[in-house]
Amino acid sequence: MISGGDVYKVLSAVVPLYVAMILAYGSVRWWKILTPEQCGGINRFVAIFAVPFLSFSIIASNDPYKMNAKFIAADALQKIAVLLMLALWARYSRNGSLEWMITLFMLATLPNTLVMGIPLLAAMYGAESGSLVVQAVVLQCIIWYTLLLFLYEFRSASILISQQFGDAAASIVSFKVDSDVMSLDGRE
């Protein structure tokens, strides 16, 4: 049974984050304290400095020799199962596509564990659960984001080849890139 104390712990972990987001939204949209350009600058600061430094701090504090093997296996297994189901859907369904496969994989398996997950799970299950979230963040940054980058590059290469060669793209078996080529996107 969920007690009032449990609800209080969860709300005390989540409410400050949402209050900050609502105040930030209101300062741009309703009260016009910040201009959209300033908001863009703040977003850029967060994306370029704050989140990478927070990620580095979290990842650097993790001891890979003390990671929970069962948790890692369960996390990897569920992500692989979702990826395989989405790949089958993208391949054999009339509505499936690589773009939707990538998007749905991100939405289904890569939650916002860094900002919301650590305080929320620590409030719900205690400090020891925070270490599990840290392990999930480490695996996301090292394995799953790299896989997503590969899928995005594969998607871009597929689009480029189909645009450049049209119907003949399916008959291409291999290609060679000269050593002086810097990019295949056609801009250089």
Cβ-contact 143, 86 below 8 angstroms: no
Q: List C-alpha distances in Å: 6 to 10, 12, 114, 119, 143.
A: 6, 10, 21, 14, 34
User: What would the pLDDT profile of 88-123 be if each residue is shown by its tens digit?
Assistant: 999 999 998 999 999 999 999 887 777 777 777 777
User: Are 58 and 134 within 8 A, CB to CB?
Assistant: yes
Span 145-188, pLDDT tens digits = 999 999 999 999 888 888 888 777 777 777 777 777 766 666 65
pLDDT in tens, 127-151: 777 788 888 888 888 899 999 999 9
pLDDT, tens digit (0-9, with 9 covering 90-100), for 32-55: 999 989 989 999 999 999 888 988
Q: What is the pLDDT of residue 149?
A: 92
Report residue 4 as tokens. Answer: 């009032």
Cα–Cα nearest to 120, from 3, 17, 4: 17
Beta carbons of 119 and 13 less than 8 angstroms apart: yes
Instruction: Identify whether the C-beta of residue 41 lies closer than 8 Å to the C-beta of residue 33.
Output: no
